[in-house]
Amino acid sequence: MPNILVVEDSPTMRQLIGFAIKRIPESRIIEATDGVDALKKLASEKIDVILADINMPVMDGLKLVSLVRENPSYKNIPIIMITTEGAEEDRKKALAIGANAYLTKPIQTQELMKLVTSFFP
Amino acid sequence: MEKEFNLSKKADEFLQMFKKGEEFTKNLLKENERLRFRIAQLEEELEKAGNEDRKMLYEEKIRVLEKEIGSLLERYKQVEEENKDFASKYLEVESENNNLANLYVASYQLHSTLDFNEVLRIVLEIVINLIGAEKFAIYLMDEKSNELLPAAAEGISLSEIPKTKIGEGVIGKVAKEAESYFIEDFGERGSSPADPAHPIVCIPLKIKEHVIGVISIYSLFIQKASFSNIDYELFNLLAGHAATAIFSSRLYTQSERKLTTIQSFLDLLKEKPKK
Protein backbone atom coordinates (compact mmCIF):
# COMPACT_ATOMS: atom_id res chain seq x y z
CA MET A 1 0.00 0.00 0.00
CA PRO A 2 1.81 3.17 -1.14
CA ASN A 3 1.62 6.09 1.29
CA ILE A 4 1.61 9.46 -0.47
CA LEU A 5 2.36 12.61 1.47
CA VAL A 6 0.62 15.68 0.03
CA VAL A 7 2.23 18.89 1.30
CA GLU A 8 0.03 21.80 0.28
CA ASP A 9 -1.31 24.84 2.16
CA SER A 10 -4.37 25.19 -0.06
CA PRO A 11 -7.31 22.96 1.02
CA THR A 12 -8.67 23.22 -2.53
CA MET A 13 -5.48 21.75 -3.97
CA ARG A 14 -5.23 19.11 -1.26
CA GLN A 15 -8.74 17.96 -2.08
CA LEU A 16 -8.09 17.97 -5.85
CA ILE A 17 -4.82 16.04 -5.50
CA GLY A 18 -6.64 13.65 -3.15
CA PHE A 19 -9.19 12.95 -5.91
CA ALA A 20 -6.43 11.94 -8.30
CA ILE A 21 -4.48 9.87 -5.79
CA LYS A 22 -7.58 8.00 -4.56
CA ARG A 23 -7.83 6.45 -8.01
CA ILE A 24 -4.46 4.75 -7.57
CA PRO A 25 -5.32 1.30 -6.17
CA GLU A 26 -4.56 0.79 -2.48
CA SER A 27 -2.92 4.18 -2.13
CA ARG A 28 -3.20 6.14 1.11
CA ILE A 29 -3.01 9.92 1.37
CA ILE A 30 -1.36 11.70 4.25
CA GLU A 31 -1.84 15.47 4.28
CA ALA A 32 0.48 18.19 5.54
CA THR A 33 -0.12 21.95 5.35
CA ASP A 34 3.53 23.09 5.19
CA GLY A 35 7.14 21.87 5.31
CA VAL A 36 7.30 21.61 9.10
CA ASP A 37 4.06 19.62 9.23
CA ALA A 38 5.47 17.39 6.45
CA LEU A 39 8.63 16.63 8.48
CA LYS A 40 6.44 15.60 11.43
CA LYS A 41 4.45 13.24 9.17
CA LEU A 42 7.68 11.83 7.73
CA ALA A 43 8.85 11.00 11.24
CA SER A 44 5.64 9.18 12.14
CA GLU A 45 4.66 7.46 8.87
CA LYS A 46 6.36 5.38 6.21
CA ILE A 47 6.11 7.57 3.11
CA ASP A 48 6.60 6.29 -0.45
CA VAL A 49 6.14 9.48 -2.49
CA ILE A 50 6.00 13.18 -1.53
CA LEU A 51 3.94 15.72 -3.49
CA ALA A 52 4.90 19.22 -2.39
CA ASP A 53 3.91 22.76 -3.27
CA ILE A 54 6.69 25.37 -3.37
CA ASN A 55 5.02 28.47 -1.98
CA MET A 56 3.84 27.62 1.53
CA PRO A 57 3.88 29.41 4.87
CA VAL A 58 6.18 28.36 7.75
CA MET A 59 8.49 26.27 5.54
CA ASP A 60 8.38 26.30 1.74
CA GLY A 61 8.68 23.30 -0.55
CA LEU A 62 12.29 23.91 -1.63
CA LYS A 63 13.49 23.98 1.99
CA LEU A 64 11.54 20.79 2.63
CA VAL A 65 13.22 19.08 -0.36
CA SER A 66 16.71 20.02 0.82
CA LEU A 67 15.98 18.81 4.39
CA VAL A 68 14.56 15.51 3.11
CA ARG A 69 17.60 14.95 0.91
CA GLU A 70 19.95 15.64 3.86
CA ASN A 71 18.21 13.08 6.06
CA PRO A 72 19.55 9.52 5.55
CA SER A 73 16.16 8.04 6.53
CA TYR A 74 14.19 9.93 3.87
CA LYS A 75 16.77 10.87 1.24
CA ASN A 76 15.56 8.27 -1.27
CA ILE A 77 11.87 9.19 -1.16
CA PRO A 78 10.77 10.52 -4.58
CA ILE A 79 9.55 14.13 -4.46
CA ILE A 80 7.21 15.70 -7.01
CA MET A 81 6.87 19.48 -6.88
CA ILE A 82 3.43 20.89 -7.74
CA THR A 83 3.59 24.63 -8.17
CA THR A 84 2.36 27.73 -9.93
CA GLU A 85 5.99 28.69 -10.73
CA GLY A 86 6.25 27.80 -14.40
CA ALA A 87 9.56 29.46 -15.30
CA GLU A 88 12.34 27.16 -16.51
CA GLU A 89 14.80 28.48 -13.89
CA ASP A 90 12.36 27.54 -11.10
CA ARG A 91 12.11 24.03 -12.51
CA LYS A 92 15.90 23.72 -12.78
CA LYS A 93 16.35 25.04 -9.25
CA ALA A 94 13.90 22.52 -7.77
CA LEU A 95 15.43 19.61 -9.68
CA ALA A 96 18.94 20.71 -8.68
CA ILE A 97 17.95 20.74 -5.00
CA GLY A 98 16.72 17.17 -5.29
CA ALA A 99 13.14 17.09 -6.56
CA ASN A 100 12.48 14.17 -8.89
CA ALA A 101 9.74 15.79 -10.98
CA TYR A 102 8.13 19.18 -11.47
CA LEU A 103 4.46 19.76 -12.29
CA THR A 104 2.87 23.17 -12.83
CA LYS A 105 -0.62 24.22 -11.81
CA PRO A 106 -3.33 23.95 -12.98
CA ILE A 107 -2.70 20.21 -12.84
CA GLN A 108 -4.18 17.47 -14.99
CA THR A 109 -5.18 14.66 -12.65
CA GLN A 110 -4.34 11.98 -15.24
CA GLU A 111 -0.82 13.38 -15.68
CA LEU A 112 -0.36 13.51 -11.90
CA MET A 113 -1.52 9.89 -11.48
CA LYS A 114 0.89 8.69 -14.18
CA LEU A 115 3.76 10.57 -12.62
CA VAL A 116 3.05 9.33 -9.09
CA THR A 117 2.69 5.68 -10.17
CA SER A 118 5.94 5.91 -12.16
CA PHE A 119 7.75 6.18 -8.81
CA PHE A 120 6.20 3.04 -7.36
CA PRO A 121 8.50 -0.01 -7.27
CA MET B 1 13.56 -95.14 -95.68
CA GLU B 2 10.02 -94.83 -94.74
CA LYS B 3 11.13 -94.56 -91.11
CA GLU B 4 13.43 -91.72 -91.98
CA PHE B 5 10.62 -90.02 -93.90
CA ASN B 6 8.30 -90.32 -90.85
CA LEU B 7 10.94 -88.92 -88.62
CA SER B 8 11.51 -86.01 -90.97
CA LYS B 9 7.78 -85.42 -91.16
CA LYS B 10 7.50 -85.48 -87.40
CA ALA B 11 10.45 -83.14 -87.07
CA ASP B 12 8.77 -80.77 -89.54
CA GLU B 13 5.56 -81.01 -87.63
CA PHE B 14 7.39 -80.33 -84.39
CA LEU B 15 9.25 -77.45 -85.98
CA GLN B 16 6.00 -76.10 -87.30
CA MET B 17 4.44 -76.49 -83.88
CA PHE B 18 7.45 -74.91 -82.26
CA LYS B 19 7.29 -71.97 -84.70
CA LYS B 20 3.60 -71.61 -83.99
CA GLY B 21 4.43 -71.74 -80.28
CA GLU B 22 7.12 -69.14 -80.84
CA GLU B 23 4.76 -66.96 -82.79
CA PHE B 24 2.08 -67.43 -80.14
CA THR B 25 4.58 -66.57 -77.40
CA LYS B 26 5.67 -63.50 -79.39
CA ASN B 27 2.02 -62.49 -79.78
CA LEU B 28 1.47 -63.07 -76.09
CA LEU B 29 4.49 -60.93 -75.23
CA LYS B 30 3.27 -58.21 -77.59
CA GLU B 31 -0.20 -58.36 -76.09
CA ASN B 32 1.37 -58.30 -72.64
CA GLU B 33 3.42 -55.26 -73.60
CA ARG B 34 0.36 -53.57 -75.05
CA LEU B 35 -1.65 -54.33 -71.95
CA ARG B 36 1.14 -53.10 -69.70
CA PHE B 37 1.29 -49.92 -71.73
CA ARG B 38 -2.46 -49.60 -71.48
CA ILE B 39 -2.34 -50.18 -67.73
CA ALA B 40 0.37 -47.57 -67.42
CA GLN B 41 -1.76 -45.21 -69.50
CA LEU B 42 -4.82 -45.92 -67.38
CA GLU B 43 -2.84 -45.52 -64.19
CA GLU B 44 -1.50 -42.23 -65.45
CA GLU B 45 -4.98 -41.09 -66.40
CA LEU B 46 -6.27 -42.24 -63.06
CA GLU B 47 -3.51 -40.37 -61.27
CA LYS B 48 -4.19 -37.31 -63.38
CA ALA B 49 -7.85 -37.53 -62.58
CA GLY B 50 -6.95 -37.88 -58.85
CA ASN B 51 -4.66 -34.84 -59.00
CA GLU B 52 -7.39 -32.82 -60.66
CA ASP B 53 -9.81 -33.72 -57.88
CA ARG B 54 -7.22 -32.89 -55.24
CA LYS B 55 -6.37 -29.69 -57.05
CA MET B 56 -10.02 -28.75 -57.14
CA LEU B 57 -10.30 -29.61 -53.45
CA TYR B 58 -7.24 -27.55 -52.61
CA GLU B 59 -8.46 -24.67 -54.71
CA GLU B 60 -11.76 -24.80 -52.89
CA LYS B 61 -9.93 -24.88 -49.57
CA ILE B 62 -7.77 -21.92 -50.63
CA ARG B 63 -10.90 -20.02 -51.63
CA VAL B 64 -12.49 -20.74 -48.23
CA LEU B 65 -9.30 -19.77 -46.40
CA GLU B 66 -8.93 -16.61 -48.45
CA LYS B 67 -12.52 -15.75 -47.61
CA GLU B 68 -11.82 -16.42 -43.92
CA ILE B 69 -8.66 -14.27 -44.07
CA GLY B 70 -10.68 -11.54 -45.72
CA SER B 71 -13.37 -11.65 -43.06
CA LEU B 72 -10.71 -11.83 -40.30
CA LEU B 73 -8.94 -8.82 -41.77
CA GLU B 74 -12.26 -7.03 -41.92
CA ARG B 75 -12.96 -7.96 -38.27
CA TYR B 76 -9.42 -6.90 -37.32
CA LYS B 77 -10.00 -3.52 -38.93
CA GLN B 78 -13.33 -3.22 -37.13
CA VAL B 79 -11.71 -4.12 -33.79
CA GLU B 80 -8.89 -1.66 -34.49
CA GLU B 81 -11.45 1.05 -35.19
CA GLU B 82 -13.35 0.09 -32.04
CA ASN B 83 -10.09 0.24 -30.09
CA LYS B 84 -9.39 3.69 -31.44
CA ASP B 85 -12.93 4.73 -30.50
CA PHE B 86 -12.50 3.28 -27.00
CA ALA B 87 -9.11 5.00 -26.61
CA SER B 88 -10.52 8.35 -27.65
CA LYS B 89 -13.62 7.81 -25.48
CA TYR B 90 -11.34 6.87 -22.57
CA LEU B 91 -9.42 10.12 -23.03
CA GLU B 92 -12.70 12.03 -23.22
CA VAL B 93 -13.96 10.34 -20.05
CA GLU B 94 -10.64 11.04 -18.30
CA SER B 95 -10.77 14.67 -19.32
CA GLU B 96 -14.43 14.87 -18.25
CA ASN B 97 -13.51 13.22 -14.96
CA ASN B 98 -10.74 15.76 -14.48
CA ASN B 99 -13.18 18.58 -15.22
CA LEU B 100 -15.82 17.21 -12.87
CA ALA B 101 -13.23 16.80 -10.10
CA ASN B 102 -12.22 20.45 -10.58
CA LEU B 103 -15.83 21.63 -10.53
CA TYR B 104 -16.73 19.45 -7.56
CA VAL B 105 -13.73 20.63 -5.53
CA ALA B 106 -14.40 24.27 -6.41
CA SER B 107 -18.08 23.99 -5.51
CA TYR B 108 -17.37 21.99 -2.34
CA GLN B 109 -14.79 24.47 -1.12
CA LEU B 110 -16.93 27.51 -1.90
CA HIS B 111 -19.76 26.20 0.24
CA SER B 112 -17.58 24.76 2.99
CA THR B 113 -17.67 27.85 5.19
CA LEU B 114 -19.83 30.82 6.16
CA ASP B 115 -16.86 32.99 7.02
CA PHE B 116 -16.73 35.89 4.56
CA ASN B 117 -12.92 36.25 4.52
CA GLU B 118 -12.53 32.48 4.22
CA VAL B 119 -14.88 32.47 1.19
CA LEU B 120 -12.82 35.24 -0.44
CA ARG B 121 -9.65 33.22 0.23
CA ILE B 122 -11.23 30.14 -1.37
CA VAL B 123 -12.24 32.13 -4.46
CA LEU B 124 -8.61 33.34 -4.73
CA GLU B 125 -7.36 29.76 -4.37
CA ILE B 126 -9.68 28.48 -7.09
CA VAL B 127 -8.69 31.21 -9.52
CA ILE B 128 -4.96 30.64 -8.81
CA ASN B 129 -4.84 26.85 -8.65
CA LEU B 130 -7.63 25.70 -10.93
CA ILE B 131 -7.67 28.45 -13.55
CA GLY B 132 -4.02 29.49 -13.42
CA ALA B 133 -4.43 33.25 -13.03
CA GLU B 134 -1.38 35.16 -11.82
CA LYS B 135 -2.81 38.63 -11.27
CA PHE B 136 -6.47 39.25 -10.56
CA ALA B 137 -8.90 41.00 -8.25
CA ILE B 138 -12.32 40.40 -6.74
CA TYR B 139 -14.56 43.47 -6.75
CA LEU B 140 -17.71 43.67 -4.69
CA MET B 141 -20.63 45.97 -5.32
CA ASP B 142 -21.25 48.79 -2.89
CA GLU B 143 -25.01 49.26 -3.19
CA LYS B 144 -24.91 52.70 -1.53
CA SER B 145 -22.38 54.32 -3.86
CA ASN B 146 -23.20 52.06 -6.82
CA GLU B 147 -19.49 51.35 -7.21
CA LEU B 148 -17.37 48.25 -7.47
CA LEU B 149 -14.82 48.17 -4.65
CA PRO B 150 -11.78 45.84 -4.69
CA ALA B 151 -12.23 43.26 -1.91
CA ALA B 152 -9.32 40.87 -2.53
CA ALA B 153 -6.47 40.54 -4.99
CA GLU B 154 -3.59 38.28 -5.95
CA GLY B 155 -0.31 39.30 -7.61
CA ILE B 156 -1.31 42.94 -7.42
CA SER B 157 -1.72 45.24 -4.41
CA LEU B 158 -5.28 46.18 -3.42
CA SER B 159 -4.18 49.82 -3.24
CA GLU B 160 -3.21 49.70 -6.94
CA ILE B 161 -6.73 48.72 -7.94
CA PRO B 162 -9.09 51.68 -8.39
CA LYS B 163 -12.78 51.48 -7.53
CA THR B 164 -15.01 51.42 -10.59
CA LYS B 165 -18.38 52.94 -11.31
CA ILE B 166 -21.10 50.69 -12.73
CA GLY B 167 -21.14 50.95 -16.53
CA GLU B 168 -17.67 52.52 -16.72
CA GLY B 169 -14.88 50.73 -18.53
CA VAL B 170 -14.71 46.98 -19.11
CA ILE B 171 -15.25 46.07 -15.45
CA GLY B 172 -18.13 48.50 -14.94
CA LYS B 173 -19.76 47.30 -18.16
CA VAL B 174 -19.53 43.64 -17.11
CA ALA B 175 -21.17 44.52 -13.79
CA LYS B 176 -23.92 46.47 -15.54
CA GLU B 177 -24.67 43.96 -18.31
CA ALA B 178 -24.02 40.80 -16.23
CA GLU B 179 -22.15 39.25 -19.18
CA SER B 180 -18.64 37.78 -19.05
CA TYR B 181 -15.87 39.50 -20.95
CA PHE B 182 -12.94 37.72 -22.65
CA ILE B 183 -10.24 39.62 -24.49
CA GLU B 184 -10.29 38.86 -28.23
CA ASP B 185 -6.54 38.72 -28.88
CA PHE B 186 -5.39 36.73 -25.90
CA GLY B 187 -1.88 36.06 -27.23
CA GLU B 188 -0.83 39.69 -27.35
CA ARG B 189 -1.90 40.43 -23.79
CA GLY B 190 -0.32 37.31 -22.29
CA SER B 191 3.06 38.89 -21.66
CA SER B 192 2.13 42.55 -21.22
CA PRO B 193 2.03 44.06 -17.70
CA ALA B 194 -1.24 43.93 -15.81
CA ASP B 195 -3.46 46.98 -16.19
CA PRO B 196 -6.30 47.10 -13.63
CA ALA B 197 -8.51 48.98 -16.08
CA HIS B 198 -8.03 46.46 -18.89
CA PRO B 199 -8.53 42.88 -17.75
CA ILE B 200 -8.13 39.90 -20.07
CA VAL B 201 -11.15 38.24 -18.45
CA CYS B 202 -13.95 39.70 -16.37
CA ILE B 203 -16.62 37.49 -14.81
CA PRO B 204 -19.75 38.90 -13.16
CA LEU B 205 -20.63 37.38 -9.80
CA LYS B 206 -24.39 37.12 -10.02
CA ILE B 207 -27.30 35.63 -8.15
CA LYS B 208 -29.84 35.08 -10.89
CA GLU B 209 -29.45 38.42 -12.73
CA HIS B 210 -28.42 40.45 -9.70
CA VAL B 211 -24.69 41.26 -9.91
CA ILE B 212 -22.93 41.41 -6.53
CA GLY B 213 -19.40 41.85 -7.88
CA VAL B 214 -16.90 40.78 -10.53
CA ILE B 215 -13.70 38.76 -10.81
CA SER B 216 -11.23 40.60 -12.99
CA ILE B 217 -8.20 38.68 -14.32
CA TYR B 218 -5.20 40.68 -15.57
CA SER B 219 -2.63 38.01 -16.39
CA LEU B 220 -2.12 34.26 -16.36
CA PHE B 221 0.84 32.13 -15.29
CA ILE B 222 3.62 31.64 -17.82
CA GLN B 223 2.65 27.98 -18.31
CA LYS B 224 -0.98 28.85 -19.02
CA ALA B 225 -1.05 29.69 -22.72
CA SER B 226 -4.80 29.77 -23.24
CA PHE B 227 -8.13 28.84 -21.69
CA SER B 228 -9.56 25.36 -22.04
CA ASN B 229 -13.17 24.18 -21.82
CA ILE B 230 -12.87 23.52 -18.10
CA ASP B 231 -11.81 27.13 -17.52
CA TYR B 232 -15.06 28.38 -19.05
CA GLU B 233 -16.97 25.85 -16.92
CA LEU B 234 -15.13 27.13 -13.86
CA PHE B 235 -15.92 30.72 -14.82
CA ASN B 236 -19.61 29.77 -15.05
CA LEU B 237 -19.40 28.00 -11.70
CA LEU B 238 -17.66 30.96 -10.10
CA ALA B 239 -20.23 33.38 -11.55
CA GLY B 240 -23.01 31.57 -9.70
CA HIS B 241 -21.52 29.65 -6.78
CA ALA B 242 -18.91 32.21 -5.73
CA ALA B 243 -21.63 34.88 -5.81
CA THR B 244 -23.98 32.91 -3.54
CA ALA B 245 -21.12 31.87 -1.25
CA ILE B 246 -19.87 35.47 -0.92
CA PHE B 247 -23.38 36.86 -0.52
CA SER B 248 -24.52 34.34 2.10
CA SER B 249 -21.27 34.52 4.08
CA ARG B 250 -21.44 38.32 4.09
CA LEU B 251 -25.05 38.17 5.32
CA TYR B 252 -24.10 35.58 7.93
CA THR B 253 -21.14 37.64 9.14
CA GLN B 254 -23.30 40.77 9.31
CA SER B 255 -26.08 38.97 11.16
CA GLU B 256 -23.53 37.41 13.53
CA ARG B 257 -22.16 40.88 14.24
CA LYS B 258 -25.66 42.26 14.78
CA LEU B 259 -26.53 39.34 17.01
CA THR B 260 -23.42 39.95 19.10
CA THR B 261 -24.31 43.64 19.38
CA ILE B 262 -27.90 42.86 20.38
CA GLN B 263 -26.71 40.21 22.82
CA SER B 264 -24.29 42.66 24.39
CA PHE B 265 -27.06 45.24 24.61
CA LEU B 266 -29.39 42.72 26.28
CA ASP B 267 -26.62 41.71 28.68
CA LEU B 268 -26.15 45.36 29.55
CA LEU B 269 -29.86 45.75 30.20
CA LYS B 270 -29.87 42.68 32.43
CA GLU B 271 -26.93 43.97 34.40
CA LYS B 272 -28.67 47.34 35.05
CA PRO B 273 -28.51 47.91 38.81
CA LYS B 274 -31.84 47.73 40.67
CA LYS B 275 -32.91 50.84 42.53
pLDDT digits 0-9 by tens, B46-99? 888 777 888 888 888 899 999 999 999 999 999 999 999 999 998 888 888 888
Best mutation site among B91, B93, B102 for testing chain A: the one with the most A CBs within 10 Å? Answer: B102
Name residues 2-61 of chain B within 8 A of A (Cβ).
none
Element (H, E) at B155: none
pLDDT given for residue B236 in this prediction: 86
Nearest CB partner across the interface for B109, out of A11, A84, A86: A11
**A36-45, B186-195, B253-262, range with the lowest pLDDT:** B186-195
Question: How confident is the model over B21-38, as a mean pLDDT?
Answer: 89
Record: contact B129-A86, CB cut-off 8 A: no
Question: How confident is the model over B139-158, as a mean pLDDT?
Answer: 89
Beta strands in A39-78 (DSSP E): 49-52
pLDDT surpasses 60 at B157: yes
Question: What count of other Cβ atoms lies within 10 Å of the Cβ of residue B182?
Answer: 15
Record: contact B222-A86, CB cut-off 8 A: yes
Residues in chain A whose Cβ is within 8 Å of chain B: 10-13, 15-16, 19-20, 84, 86-87, 104-106, 108-110
A18-71 residue pLDDT tens:
988 888 888 899 999 999 999 999 999 999 999 999 999 999 999 999 999 999
pLDDT-based confidence at B1, cuts 50/70/90? low
Q: Is B121 touching A (CB cutoff 8 A)?
A: no
In terms of average pLDDT, the best of B86-95, B118-127, B257-266 is B118-127
Q: How far is CA A92 from the centre of its chain?
A: 16
Sketch out chain A's domains with CATH numbers: 3-117 (3.40.50.2300)
pLDDT surpasses 60 at B275: no
CB contact at 8 A, B141 and B135 = no
| Chain B residues near residue A108 by CB distance under 8 angstroms | 98
Q: Which of A4, A9, A5 has the alpha carbon at shortest distance from A83?
A: A9
pLDDT surpasses 60 at B143: yes
Q: Which of B10, B184, B50, B213 has the alpha carbon at shortest distance from B119?
A: B213
For chain B, what is the mean pLDDT? Answer: 86
Q: Is B125 touching A (CB cutoff 8 A)?
A: yes
DSSP A48: S
